[in-house]
Amino acid sequence: MLSRRGTLLVSLITLLLFANSAWAASACVDLFKPHPVVIAMAEAKALEEKFVITQRAYRQGLLGRSQFERDLAASGGKLTRLFATRGLTVEFREEGFEILPQGSHSLAKVASHLNSNNIRLMYAPHLLPEGMQAAYSVKESDLSRTLYIDLETIIHGRIGVVGAHELRHVYNDLRANERAGAYERLFQTHLFADKTASKKLPEIEGPYQTNFSLDEIIAYRLSAALLLRDLMRQPSDNFAKNNLIVHGEQLRMFVNSGLATLKVLLSEVQNSRFTFTIRGVPGAETAKVQVEIVKAGLLKNLFSTRRQDKNLVGLIARLDVLRTEVPSVPTPDNMRLLLSTKIGQMIVELEALQKPAHSFFEATQSLAGKHVSEAQIVDIDEALGRLSRAIAARRMSHNNQTTPTAQNGNDEVFL
Ligand SMILES: [Zn+2]
């Protein structure tokens, strides 16, 4: 949904269940007298629904402008006041609620940190399609950045799995824009199949099949670790269990799909069947290079009949590269060299993660049964540990060639 609104980079986390286990636990404090958080959450959910319905009705032309403004102001005002009772200050606009770096709420600190990096923190329920709770996006038109946070985080005042996942994307994006963030920069590679015949990337199903950023692999590794921590504390936590299964499946698909797509892309680039555009990222040392697979000429087609047709004509990949790496006068020839190098490096990185990602997937598959045993948890923990160590080792080999900067201090904030 966000990409249709002109968003360049969208990172979403899909969660199977809406209920948060921590929330459910607090409901048991006193069955006859619901905890204030539970009451606030129920109220907020109802207002959120109203807000989304009003926005949808206006977009569909079912609501006149003045009625829309009145309805939106009513539910928006109530939500704003409700957030204030949780210690959060927001600025309400038609596009949503901007979270301000004021007050005692834990998100105020996050907002302050993000704002200092030119990133807005927003709560915009109508932008998030069903089942997607939070997102990090970079706008196509001006490359401005926004982190969309979920309602649960606002009401609970605690960054949960969803928020931590998105903050990892933010951190990786910031790192990628520094010279020293070579590893994170490679994983900013974003694949789009919208213009291909099947409108689908190879070897991936579900919400990410038309496009995804390889950064999902790093962010999913983090949210998997947090879910596993929850499951270790509480083996009956179905939210953690079901989402770990999803994380295993997603991680396997991201690696497989990324590899299959990039191998085709590399071959097409090497055979000069591509077009490219370059855009500088404002205030950053990087540029975004967009490459698209184009149809081969008639003559080339005749000579390449033995080449297996993977039908990826129209595939777009966006890569982050240092400005200094971009040739001063870009030509198809020198760009073919740069792109081949970058795509080749990315393939090496994905190959290094394929085996541990697959064994993590296999370990999480065992969770499909009703009862979760300690042995299963140990298996998953070991598999995830191998994946984490593989990522850490590869990151070190890329990033330790340059002097670390102050950005490293953000590790704590961004987990
Ligand atoms: Zn994500």
Q: What string of DSSP letters covers 181-238?
A: -HHHHHTT-EEE-TTSSSSS-TT--STTSSEEETHHHHHHHHHHHHHHHHHHH-TT-H
The rounded Å distance from CA 191 to ligand 1 centre is 14
**Of 43 and 411, which is predicted with more confidence?**
43
The rounded Å distance from CA 301 to ligand 1 centre is 38
The rounded Å distance from CA 162 to ligand 1 centre is 9
* 167 found inside a domain: no
The rounded Å distance from CA 333 to ligand 1 centre is 34
CA distance 253 to 134: 21
Contact present, 272 and 334 (Cβ < 8 Å): no
Residues in the chain: 415
According to DSSP, the residues that pair with 316 across neighbouring strands are 192, 292
* 386 found inside a domain: yes
Whether residue 117 is found in the same domain as residue 249: no
Whether residue 192 is found in the same domain as residue 139: no
- The average pLDDT across 203-225 equals 96
CA distance 372 to 237: 10
pLDDT of 403 higher than 70: no
CA distance 67 to 83: 24
In this structure, what token pair is assigned to residue 334? Answer: 């020198």
The rounded Å distance from CA 232 to ligand 1 centre is 23
pLDDT of 338 higher than 90: yes
Whether residue 223 is found in the same domain as residue 318: yes
Contact present, 385 and 297 (Cβ < 8 Å): no
Contact present, 224 and 242 (Cβ < 8 Å): no
- Give Cα 390 to chain centroid, integer Å: 21
The rounded Å distance from CA 176 to ligand 1 centre is 16
pLDDT on residue 210? 96
Whether residue 262 is found in the same domain as residue 411: yes
* 165 found inside a domain: no
The rounded Å distance from CA 3 to ligand 1 centre is 14
pLDDT of 83 higher than 60: yes
The rounded Å distance from CA 217 to ligand 1 centre is 8
* 169 found inside a domain: no
CA distance 415 to 401: 23
Whether residue 5 is found in the same domain as residue 90: yes
3-class DSSP state for residue 289?
strand
* 34 found inside a domain: yes
In this structure, what token pair is assigned to residue 320? Answer: 């982050």
Residue type, 153: T
pLDDT digit string (tens) for 290-310?
999 998 655 555 555 444 456
CA distance 383 to 233: 18
Whether residue 203 is found in the same domain as residue 80: no
- Give Cα 226 to chain centroid, integer Å: 16
Domain termination site, one of 159, 192, 227: 159
The rounded Å distance from CA 81 to ligand 1 centre is 30
Residue with tokens 């286990």: 21
- The average pLDDT across 134-159 equals 90
The rounded Å distance from CA 183 to ligand 1 centre is 17
The rounded Å distance from CA 339 to ligand 1 centre is 25
Whether residue 203 is found in the same domain as residue 125: no
Domain termination site, one of 159, 186, 212: 159
* 173 found inside a domain: no
Q: What is the DSSP code (8-state) at residue 295?
A: P
pLDDT interval class at 36 (50, 70, 90): confident
Question: Percentage of residues in the chain with pLDDT exceeding 90?
Answer: 70
Q: What are phi and psi of 288, to 5 degrees?
A: -100, 120
Contact present, 353 and 389 (Cβ < 8 Å): no
The rounded Å distance from CA 277 to ligand 1 centre is 25
CA distance 143 to 238: 38
Domain that holds residue 57: 1-159
Residue with tokens 């390449």: 304
pLDDT on residue 125? 86
Mean pLDDT check: name the lowest of 79-88, 228-237, 289-298: 289-298
The rounded Å distance from CA 240 to ligand 1 centre is 17
The rounded Å distance from CA 129 to ligand 1 centre is 14
Contact present, 395 and 365 (Cβ < 8 Å): no
**Of 337 and 160, which is predicted with more confidence?**
337
- Total domains in the fold of the chain: 2
Q: What are phi and psi of 292, to 5 degrees?
A: -130, 135
Whether residue 224 is found in the same domain as residue 142: no
- Among residues 13, 6, 352, the alpha carbon closest in space to that of 162 is found at 13
pLDDT on residue 399? 83
In this structure, what token pair is assigned to residue 217? Answer: 């692999």
Domain termination site, one of 107, 132, 159: 159
The vertex-222 CA angle with 145 and 251, nearest 5°, equals 95
The rounded Å distance from CA 165 to ligand 1 centre is 6
Whether residue 265 is found in the same domain as residue 300: yes
* 170 found inside a domain: no
The rounded Å distance from CA 215 to ligand 1 centre is 7
The rounded Å distance from CA 272 to ligand 1 centre is 32
Whether residue 285 is found in the same domain as residue 320: yes
The vertex-33 CA angle with 28 and 38, nearest 5°, equals 65
Q: What is the DSSP code (8-state) at residue 373?
A: -
Whether residue 348 is found in the same domain as residue 400: yes
pLDDT interval class at 139 (50, 70, 90): confident
Whether residue 249 is found in the same domain as residue 387: yes
The pLDDT mean for the chain works out to 86
* 168 found inside a domain: no
Question: Percentage of residues in the chain with pLDDT exceeding 70?
Answer: 83
The rounded Å distance from CA 216 to ligand 1 centre is 5
CA distance 23 to 8: 34
